[in-house]
Amino acid sequence: MKIAVFGGSFDPIHIGHIRVIEEALKTLDIDLLVVVPAFLNPFKKSFTAPPNLRAKWIKKALMIYKKVKICPFEIENNRPTYMIETVYHLQKLYKPSKIYLIIGADNLKSLHKWYKYKNLKSKVEFVVAKRGREKIPLKYKILNVNVPISATALRKRIIRRFLPKIVADEIVRFYKQRSSKERGCKC
């Protein structure tokens, strides 16, 4: 069995994530794509949407993809979890012959800082999703997607057309309510 792993905060999930998944399913020789929502990215101090809510949005948004499975491992850990831990967990669970690890091009600059990077590098083949004008070295497999949006930008200004339709209302409502509370609005 060959698997691809796509981890992230997905705070919120958006069409850029969906395009990465669709392109991976189309171009990688895999039996399964495992989406792993983070409880909290080890490089970040906080999240906006709670982990279980993000997981709910992801499940709804991805339920139409037969070869995609959501893995709650990092959320169930209830703490920041390093990708090497997740890879060990998935190795035990699926016993794959090959693991592709999908990352955004924006992660390339800090990849060497990931916990136990050398060990991780020996367990997976990195696949890089194009993002912006980042230069991607030829040694990586590339997913040719380049949707001009990020979850960070969406948290600042929620734009419905960048959200999966099935969860767009829930996501818009959550971030607007959160934004109103932060401004002290009694709407």
Task: State CA 67 to chain mean position distance.
Answer: 16
Q: What does residue 69 show for φ and ψ, rounded to 5 degrees?
A: -125, 140
> Domain segments of the chain: what residues?
2-183
pLDDT tens digits for 115-159? 999 999 999 999 999 977 888 999 999 999 988 888 988 998 999
Whether the Cβ atoms of residue 32 and residue 70 lie closer than 8 Å to each other: no
pLDDT tens digits for 48-91? 999 999 999 999 999 999 999 999 999 999 999 999 999 999 99
Other C-beta atoms closer than 10 Å to the C-beta of 92 total 8
- The whole-model pTM stands at 0.93
Which CATH homologous superfamily contains domain 2-183?
A: HUPs (3.40.50.620)
Q: Do you know the residue count of the chain?
A: 187
Rounded Cα gap, residues 29 and 41, in angstroms:
28
Q: What does residue 36 show for φ and ψ, rounded to 5 degrees?
A: -120, 100
